[in-house]
Amino acid sequence: MRRALQKKYPKPVSYRRVGANRQMNMSINDNPWAGLLCAAMAGDKTAYARFLHEVAPVIRGIVRAKGAGIDTSEQEDIVQNILLAIHLKRGTWRQDQPLRPWLYAIARYKIVDAFRARGRRVHLPIEDVQDVLPAPERADPFEHRDALKTIAQLDPRSAEILRRAALQGESPAETGQCLNMSEGAVRVALHRALTRLAALRTRESI
């Protein structure tokens, strides 16, 4: 009987290793994203970049499915707002809780917000956003004007640090050398720049 059960429900291969670490255990129960975000919050930059890269197309798929009638570049703006919110609010995700409901709740809030800003009421049941196809970023050679405008509204220093991190892919250490700042100061400034950017974009859409 016991053997039969074991055959039916074989133990996961990495059972012991997983059991040793509760967070990993959770992430395997949930989905690989949770594992990536856990690692990211423990300071793993590569895991975080991978997490964002994997989440972005799914978010885009949701926005595209729900935001029919909004033009593409504006849809991409909403995608970016959601990603920014995920980034800045990641402290509200409890690592022992499933990740997807948290993720979808953020996406939903931002999409509803975007619709409200456009004067449309939207009814968006949370179950609806769970089964959409991921979508790649469309080739869009024109950066959206609004996004540019908001970066220009940042103070020059923040804008410079954000541009260096985003467009040139510089690490905080490199930026620090160029701008004669300590690496820590660059980190803080970059974080503030992203927070400010999110606030400006939110205010614009309200």
111-150 mask for other proteins (x: CB under 8 A)? Answer: --------------------------x--x--x---xx--
In angstroms, give the least distance from the CB of 7 to other proteins.
Answer: 37
Return the percent helix, strand and coil in the chain, to nearest 5.
70, 0, 30
Q: Label residue 200 left, alpha or beta by phi (over 0 means left) and psi (-120 to 50 means alpha).
A: alpha
Among residues 23, 160, 183, 187, the one that binds other proteins under rule CB under 8 A: 187
What are the CA-CA distances from residue 101 to residues 107, 113, 129, 139 (Å)?
10, 18, 10, 30
What's the CA gap between 206 and 202, in Å, rounded?
Answer: 6
Cα-only R_g, the chain = 20
Q: Which residues contact 185 (CB under 8 A, 6 or more apart)?
A: 176
Instruction: Give the nearer residue to other proteins in terms of CB position, either 16 or 123.
Output: 123
Q: Does 58 bind other proteins (CB under 8 A)?
A: no
92 binds other proteins (CB under 8 A): yes
Of 26, 39, 40, 135, the one binding other proteins (CB under 8 A) is: 40
The yes or no reply on residue 38 touching other proteins (CB under 8 A) is no
d(CA 89, CA 3): 47
Contacts with other proteins by CB under 8 A lie at 40-41, 43, 45, 48-49, 52-53, 56, 60, 76, 79-80, 83-85, 87-94, 97, 101-102, 104-106, 108-109, 137, 140, 143, 147-148, 151, 162, 165-167, 169-172, 187-188, 190-191, 194, 198, 202, 206
